[in-house]
Amino acid sequence: MVEKYDVAVIGGGSAGLAALKQLSNLGKQAILIEAGKQLGSKNVSGGILYSKKPRQGKAHNVEDVYGSDFLSDLPVERKITKYMLHSTSRNKIFTMDLTAAHEYQANFGYTVLMSKLNAWFAKRAGESAEQQGGGIVSGVHVKSISWQDDGRAIIETDELEPFEVKAIIAADGVNSEVAEMTGARPKFTPEDLYQGVKVVVKLPEEIIEQRFGVGPGEGAAHLFAGDVTLNHIGGGFVYTNRDTLSVGAVYHYDSLMRLPAEPSQLVNALLKNPMVSEFIKDEVAVKEEIDRNLPKEEQLRARFAVSKLIKTWNELRDAYHSPDARKKLVEAGKYKSEDEIKARLDFVRNELTTKYRTKFVTDYVELEYSAKLVPDGKRCMMKKPYHKNILFIGDAAGRGVFIGPRIEGLNVGIDDAVRAANAAARAIDRGNFSPEYMGQYYGDLVNDSPYTRDMKEIDKDYLKIFLDATKDVPKDIIGQRYGMVFKLMSSGTLRGLAVGLANILGYDRLLPLVESEDTYVQVPIELAEKMGQPVSATYAPTIPTVSQRVAKLKYDDDRTSHIKVLEPRSEFMKKMVTLCPTNCYSLEGEDVTLQHEACIECGTCSKETEWRHPRGEKGIVFQYG
Amino acid sequence: MEIKGYLMPGNTLNAAVIVKLEPDFSEGNVSYNADGTLNRAETKSILGPHSAVASSAAFYAKVRYGARIAVTTMGPPIADVALQQAQVLCDADELHLYSDRMFAGADTLATAEVLRNGIAKVEGGQLDLVFSGHRASDGETGQTGPQTAWKLGFTFLGNVIDYDIDVPNRMVRAKRLISLQGFYDVIEEVEAPLPVFIAIDPSYKASFNTVSQRLAFEKYQKEGKVRAQDYKRYLKVFNAQQLGADPKLVGLPGSPTIVYKVERIPKAKASRKAEVIDGSSREELRKAAAKMYEILGGMVIK
Ligand SMILES: Cc1cc2nc3c(=O)[nH]c(=O)nc-3n(C[C@H](O)[C@H](O)[C@H](O)COP(=O)(O)OP(=O)(O)OC[C@H]3O[C@@H](n4cnc5c(N)ncnc54)[C@H](O)[C@@H]3O)c2cc1C
Ligand code: SF4
């Protein structure tokens, strides 16, 4: 006898967790299956989590799902209050303030780190689900789904005995195996996708506030286009977290295929931009070689002592630059006052310089390197986001709003989740899980979503913000490229007409014009050259190599590979040698070979491989995400 | 719908775990007195590693069969930290500490006597399962388990690496790791009626392979952590009198053996003997066949 449940959510990213929470909110039993052991350890974002108040229709926001708990606990980083777009060319930068675009129809936008955020979501969703006889099952990888005559689905996993469910919510992300194994949609193509690569950089809390000109708890988003793109369509970002920065590059996969560039180099280009170098800079302790003439034991002791002191210095310094941590240290009686913390900090620093000849230099500290594909909803959202009794949500359904600097997948996935959960709950009440009753209904709900509209149509009010921001830009820079379109758009009365016309043409026709190298590379470069200010960096950051970055990551190694190369000589696979962010592919003679150990499960190579997520608990374990 | 574990109506099993507070042998932070005996005052004490394995084996009974669990130990008042640490591992419903000056100096037999008296107090003596570790790390001989089992009159199953219970028929099915003719990886499968005393092998690892087991695992694991934060609420301390222990059978008077010194043992030499049979003649081959027959014939595997 197999175990039976009402609903299984597959995938515990922000979308799947919201589905579980919403089902529990509605009093329905559901279980969630997640491959990662710790919830949040497999997810990567930029990212800014938005809550929206669209003028038309309703968005189901994070706080609607998790209640006021979310707003009081705030498992987030900083509330973004500044949103700037920089056009770069060499050392010249032209900046436009796009805070209005960030605030457009938004209740708020917080920076988030997925590992922390999803762990918080999981705690709430798991507790609610338990009360309905369900819960979260982590460290389990779904490998196949089949259907019985009565329409119920049997789910097989690598770890557990098969079980039966009436409905499935597929939230298994951009590289959805559920979509693939059920034939619900073909694999996404490079045309549909962006590749995101990110590094998390350490920076003490108050230094962030001073440097970015924001108050406590507030943050800034800085976006980059121009020569930092190394001629690709897309751009870079620097987001402030509480005591880290997220520095990332997101590029259209198609343009990476045309002009292959190593993902790490794309982030590096950003890090080397003088403005970004200055953003990330910090004081870093560098160990001095230990005198080899000393006796072995003495050397060992010194090495130990230095490491320990540097650790203390780092921790104390982070605490000293954080009002909360400072207060806690004093309250706990570890220090009498904040001055005493400072004194101790100086003492440790002095000890390091005088006793151990440690140097303190200007550099930056990377904590984590990550990557993930991002679906561009305009191009790849599932027209019918369901298949039999499976409802697809979030990245798995190819749903994300991608307009200019706007990358929204988190809020879209949460909104989808609510709609899917509502449809599933209604199906439970009626005992009807057929595609006509449940799937179709979900499809209709999704069609009503304001985000779906954003994936289909141009929003002229949003566009206006950009036009307003460029009003001081000489028309010849922009006009010569977009000619008529721009003229129409920049006139108030004609804008409506132009947008109407554009919407008739549809995104399909418009995208090659708007999402082009002109927009992301040439125009910004020209802007920077003609109107930009020179910016200089006071140092050159020491950027780690890919192997150094990989060495810092945490994995639960699986000896067998989750990816199989099918055509080792295809053009696509050859490009993977460059495009895999962790250099898992190499060319041996004519054949492309894979060493899966360093794989961070981004999905870039999935198109022409037999691509699975690793077995439960195995593979990458992100600490930040 | 077949759902085992915590969704099963009614608790049908009662289990006890015997644990021990031991010096923390990890990280080499052990200190010895000048005479070579352990300096207990300076060595930090924790739940012994074998006790931890026993606790997780009991936890399996909770997850799979909804068993109620009592963790028990004999020791000084500070031994309650071992109970607390065990509670994290097995979400114990009760914690029993048998503590009395009279118990001091007990050898394994006298310890077994205290435990027997104590365990009789668990669930009014209605016990189905008792778990203990393989042995303690701090110089115990592995006799406490069998002796307690013998005193309780329970079937003793040693070196258990896996077990399941047929609840309606009150039968345990266990796998034991046994050594036959010097071969260490022979697994014997046995069946025994409840109640049983299970000494868990250090290599034991529980596996949960259905959704409901995983859900129950999560639920009880969380509950265990919460309970352990407030472990004193679950703690009952018994002295000799409350246990009704016979003074002649516990502590020093009840101990026929006395440990007078624990020596640091020099690294043992490998004791396995190898006989070379080179297969060069019929005679040699016959020898090989006979040897294999002898070994295989010895494995009574059900
Ligand atoms: C660099 C970058 C920047 C971004 N910036 C933003 C931003 O600023 N704002 C924004 O809103 N969005 C942003 N996004 C997009 C956003 O991060 C994603 O849309 C979102 O994280 C997707 O959530 P999800 O739950 O749909 O999928 P995921 O988070 O990918 O979750 C899928 C889960 O399913 C699990 N899984 C997969 N297969 C199986 C299986 N077979 N069995 C069991 N479990 C399985 C995985 O382990 C994973 O945990 C960004 C993305 C990237 C990469
Ligand atoms: S092997 Fe494939 S999925 Fe893994 S990191 Fe490289 S490109 Fe990404």
A135 touches chain B (CB under 8 A): yes
Instruction: Give the mean pLDDT of B105-125.
Output: 84
CB A439 near ligand 1, within 6 Å = no
Q: Higher confidence at residue B149 or residue A610?
A: A610
Binned at pLDDT 50, 70 and 90, residue B257 comes out as low
What length is written for chain B?
302
Domain membership of residue B293 (yes or no) is no
Structure tokens, A210: 């001073």
Asked if the Cβ–Cβ distance from B219 to A130 is below 8 Å, we say yes
Bigger pLDDT: A11 vs B147: A11
Is pLDDT above 80 for B64?
yes
Confidence band for B300, pLDDT divided at 50, 70 and 90: very low
Which are the contacts of A138, defined by CB distance < 8 A and separation ≥ 6?
Answer: A12, A34, A36, A37, A38, A39, A616
The single residue listed with the structure tokens 């299956």 is: A33
Of A119, A3, A170, A153, nearest to B215 (Cα)?
A: A3
pLDDT digit string, tens, across residues A429-457: 999 999 999 999 999 999 999 999 999 98
Picking from A411, A524, A405, the residue whose alpha carbon sits closest to that of residue A102 is A405
pLDDT-above-90 percentage for chain A: 85
DSSP state of B244: T
Which chain A residues in 88-127 lie under 8 Å from chain B, judged by CB atoms?
126
Decide if pLDDT at B140 tops 50: yes
pLDDT tier, B301 (very low <50, low <70, confident <90, very high otherwise): very low
**Distance from Cα A425 to the centre of ligand 1, integer Å:** 24
As to burial, measured by CB atoms within 10 angstroms (0-12 exposed, 13-18 middle, 19+ buried), residue A150 is exposed
Domain total of chain B = 1
pLDDT at A465: 87
Q: What would the 3-class secondary structure string for B107-151 be? A: CHHHHHHHHHHHHCCHHHHCCCEEEECCCCCCCCCCCHHHHHHHH
Question: What is the phi/psi pair of residue B293, to 5°?
Answer: -60, -40
- Band (B146; pLDDT cuts 50, 70, 90): confident
Closest atom of ligand 1 to A375 CA is 19
Rounded to the nearest angstrom, the minimum Cα separation between A159 and chain B is 7
| Domain assignment present for B260 | no
Taking residues A609-623, report their average pLDDT.
Answer: 98
Which pLDDT score, from 0 to 100, does residue B271 have?
43
Say how far apart CA B51 and CA B29 lie, in whole Å: 20
Q: Are B20 and B136 in contact (CB under 8 A)?
A: yes
CB contacts of B210 in chain A (<8 Å) are 3, 160-161, 163
Strands A48-52 and A30-34: unpaired
From the CB of A165, is ligand 1 less than 6 Å away? no
In a domain, B288, yes or no: no
In a domain, B222, yes or no: yes
What pLDDT is stored for residue B111 in this prediction? 85
What band does A481 get if pLDDT is binned at 50, 70 and 90? low
Mutating to test ligand 2, I would choose from A174, A602, A611, A613 the residue with most ligand atoms within 8 A of its C-beta, which is: A602
Nearest protein CA to atom 7 of ligand 1, as residue: A47
**Residue with CA nearest ligand 2 atom 1:** A599
| Contact predicate A153/A7, CB 8 Å | no
Q: What is the pLDDT of residues A175-234, one digit of tens each?
A: 999 999 999 999 999 999 999 999 999 999 999 999 999 999 999 999 999 999 999 999
The three-state secondary structure class of B82 is: helix
Q: In the structure, what pLDDT confidence band is assigned to residue A405 with cuts at 50, 70 and 90?
A: confident
For atom 6 of ligand 2, the residue with the nearest CA is A580
Ligand 1 pocket mutation, candidates A21, A41, A42, A45, criterion most atoms within 8 A of CB: A45
pLDDT, average across residues A270-291: 95
CA A17 / ligand 1 centre spacing (Å): 11
Here the tokens at position A20 are 């579980």
- Does A553-621 carry CATH code 3.40.50.150? no
Nearest CA in chain B to A4: B1
Helix or strand run (H / E) with residue A457: none
Per-residue burial over B116-146, b = 16 or more CB atoms within 10 Å of its CB, e = otherwise: bbbbebbbeeebbbbbbbbbbbbebeebbbb
Alpha-carbon dihedral B224, B228, B231, B234, rounded to 10 degrees: 10
Which residue bears the tokens 């180099």? Answer: A265
Residues of B with Cβ-Cβ distance to A137 under 8 angstroms: 211, 214-215, 218
Condensed to tens digits (0 to 9), the pLDDT of residues A18-49 reads: 999 999 999 999 999 999 999 999 999 999 99
Interface test with B, best of A137, A166, A168 (most B CBs within 10 A): A137
Q: Is the pLDDT of residue A385 over 60?
A: yes
Instruction: State which ligand 2 atom lies nearest to the alpha carbon of A596.
Output: 1
The reported pLDDT for the residue numbered A105 is 96
CB-ligand 1 contact for A141 (6 Å cutoff)? yes
Mutate to test the pocket of ligand 1, among A121, A172, A245 (most ligand atoms within 8 A of CB): A172
- At A366, the amino acid letter reads E
Give the gap in angstroms from C-alpha A3 to the nearest C-alpha of chain B: 6
Q: What is the CATH number of the domain that holds B106?
A: 3.40.50.620
Task: For residue B172, give the nearest of B157, B153, B188 by alpha carbon.
Answer: B157
Q: What is the mean pLDDT of chain B?
A: 81
Q: Where are the alpha helices (DSSP H) in A141-198?
A: 177-182
CA–CA distance, B23 with A538 (Å, rounded to integer) = 55
**Residue labelled with tokens 């080792």:** A568
**Cβ–ligand 1 contact at A42 (below 6 Å):** yes
What are the sequence ranges of the domains in chain A? 3-76+112-185+382-456, 78-107+191-281+364-373+516-544, 287-358, 461-515, 553-621
Selecting from B3, B209, B215 the residue whose C-beta is nearest the C-beta of A135 gives B215
Q: Report the distance separating Cα A304 and Cα A284, nearest Å.
A: 18
Is a pLDDT exceeding 70 seen at residue B5? no
Judged against a pLDDT cut of 70, whether residue B138 lies above it is answered with no
Average pLDDT across chain A, whole number: 94
Q: Which residue(s) pair with A591 in the sheet?
A: A588
Average pLDDT over residues B143-163: 89
* pLDDT tens digits along A295-337: 988 888 888 899 999 999 999 999 999 999 999 999 999 999 9
- For the record, the structure tokens of A195 come out as 């590749």
Contact assignment for B218 to A1 by CB distance below 8 Å: no
What are the DSSP E strand ranges found in chain B? Answer: 14-18, 21-23, 45-47, 68-74, 94-98, 129-132, 155-166, 171-180, 183-193, 196-200, 235-238
Ligand nearest to the CA of A578: 2
**pTM of the entire structure?**
0.89
A140 shares contact with chain B (CB less than 8 Å)? yes
Query: Residue B122 corresponds to which tokens in the numbers above?
Result: 């668990």
Burial of A504 (0-12, 13-18, 19+ CB in 10 A): exposed
Size of interface A-B (CB pairs under 8 A): 36
pLDDT digit string, tens, across residues A352-368: 999 999 999 999 999 99
A13 lines ligand 1 (CB under 6 A): yes
Q: State the DSSP H helix or E strand holding residue A350, giving kind and residue range, or none if neither.
A: helix A338-356
In chain B, residues with a C-beta closer than 8 Å to the C-beta of A130 are 215, 219
> Would you place residue B294 in the very low, low, confident or very high pLDDT band (cuts 50, 70, 90)?
low
Q: Residues A558-604: pLDDT tens digits?
A: 999 999 999 999 999 999 999 999 999 999 999 999 999 999 999 99
| Ligand 2 center–CA A599 separation, angstroms | 5
Give me the mean pLDDT over the A394-406 stretch. 94
Residue A135: which of B1, B209, B218 has the nearest Cβ?
Answer: B218
- Give the whole-angstrom CA distance, residue B82 versus residue B50: 12
Task: Say yes or no for a CB contact (<8 Å) between A3 and B210.
Answer: yes
Q: In this predicted structure, what is the pLDDT of residue A513? A: 74
Taking a C-beta distance cutoff of 8 angstroms, is the pair B19, B133 a contact? yes
Assess whether pLDDT exceeds 80 at residue B291.
Answer: no
The Cα of A256 is separated from the nearest Cα of chain B by a number of Å equal to 42
The highest-level CATH class for domain A78-107+191-281+364-373+516-544 is alpha beta
- We find that the CATH architecture of domain A3-76+112-185+382-456 is 3-Layer(bba) Sandwich (3.50)
- In this predicted complex, what is the ipTM? 0.87
Quick one: pLDDT at residue B268? 39
What pLDDT sits at residue A251?
Answer: 97
Residue B136: per-residue pLDDT:
59
Q: Are A376 and A194 in contact (CB under 8 A)?
A: yes
When CB atoms are compared, the residue of A2, A130, A137 closest to B214 is A137
Report the pLDDT averaged over residues B226-238: 96
pLDDT score of B302: 37
Could you give the angle at the alpha carbon of A178 between the alpha carbons of A378 and A400, nearest 5°? 20
CB B19 within 8 A of CB B47: yes
- Say which ligand is closest to the CA of A565: 2
